[in-house]
Amino acid sequence: MDIITEGHLYQNTLLTFTEAAQLMNLDPNVFERLKRPKRSIIVSVPTRMDDGSVKVFTGYRVQHSSTLGPCKGGIRYHESVNLSEVAALAMLMTFKCSLVGLPLGGAKGGVQVNATKLSRAEKQRLTRRYTSEISPFIGPEKDIPAPDIGTDSQTMAWLMDTYSQEVGHAVPGVVTGKPIEIGGSLGRNTSTGRGAVFVVEEALNHLKMKQDKSIRVVVQGFGEVGASAAQCSYDLGLSVVAVSDVSGGIYNSKGLNINQVKDYYSKNKTLKGYPEAEAVTNEALLELPCEVLIPSAVDGVINSKNASKISAKIISEGANGPVTHDAHQILIERGIFVIPDFLANAGGVIVSYFEWVQDLQNFFWSEKEINSRLREIMTTTFKNVLQQSQAQKIDLRKAAMVTAVKRVSTAMLLRGLYPQ
């Protein structure tokens, strides 16, 4: 085992890919090529801190595959960032883009840093230096970054500006998730959470469950993904009974008013102390009685230790890899309907694709049009994966992976290997 394959997220992703490869009798040469990323970049990111000292952080950019088109994937700033995690997420991005039919490959990046301890000026200096280090490998026709954990639209604005300064002209298409004023897309901020709820709607229809207050929803994470998933569930008329952030969760069995929760969070920067709910831990939140669970925080939160205690009937994976491979098997055996991450949270990359297209055309769409196109792709993909699952009598994760790998494999075989 080497530095790329040693992480648990990479191992989980590789296991799912291997199972799909066996199910579809994947060409062994294609299998060997897709097991590892095309390119892995490790950079030093020296950054001047506010006290005048220089700290050197480690940055990464991994490009897993560009067979279907330019690479696409977020950049995260977090202490846990390492090469193996980034490589796993890049692989997932390849399959995610393939699954939903985008002409894009998979990439991911990050810097190992606690972004919450950086001042705005420090974060800007770190972002600009990191961008400068990876700039030879990114671009609107090469690799298009986006926000992830610890980064946001402002981070992308700095990245776009740095790249544009180096090439000598404005290049809005080098990143997605930018502010609207400099080429960002309407609907991008809520797209991942919205997409996760679109597939919940489809799952409820498939399982013949009503879409009303009798459906209790629990959302772990209250960042961009979790907050929008909670809001969309609430707007749909479902009962959102619990949400959480890093400080812990809040629970009200009668349902939360998500508009009021968002207002409280905006003012206090935490859910802790919200008056109309009881406090629960993030661990206990996952086991609360509910029909729908949307884990939207970090990976590995549902594992072999707590999988048997999950009460939800539907799990929509808003985060990347929130359910471990072992836990997934337990959930499936218990009859829980698990919508895998690279389908459930594909809304973000779909609207990122829309943003990229709008930037290249210099022609922008309305939010209504964007949300309509997002729903169409999410629901069509869900139905295709469900059909594959029923036809082969396999779970949705395997069905989604088979569908995704098939498209990448076909493209790879058509393009061939260079040089021969």
Residues with catalytic function: 108
Element holding 166 (H helix, E strand):
helix 153-167
Looking only at the bridges linking them, the beta strands covering 105-112 and 71-78 are parallel
The CA distance from 95 to 85, in Å, is 16
The length of the chain, given as a count of residues: 420
Contact predicate 318/344, CB 8 Å? yes
Give the neighbor-by-neighbor strand order of the sheet with 239-245. Answer: 278-280, 248-251, 239-245, 216-220, 292-295, 314-316, 337-339
C-alpha 77/C-alpha 313 separation (Å) is: 33
146 beta partners: 74
Residue 224 has a CB neighbour count (10 Å cut-off) of 22
Q: Are 194 and 374 in contact (CB under 8 A)?
A: yes
Q: Burial letters for 127-161: b for 16+ Cβ neighbours within 10 Å, e otherwise?
A: bbbbbbbbbebbebeebbbbbbbbbbbebbbbbbb
* 3-state DSSP assignment of residue 110: strand
Q: How many CA atoms lie within 13 A of 11 on its CB side?
A: 10
| Residue 279 φ then ψ, to 5° | -80, 140
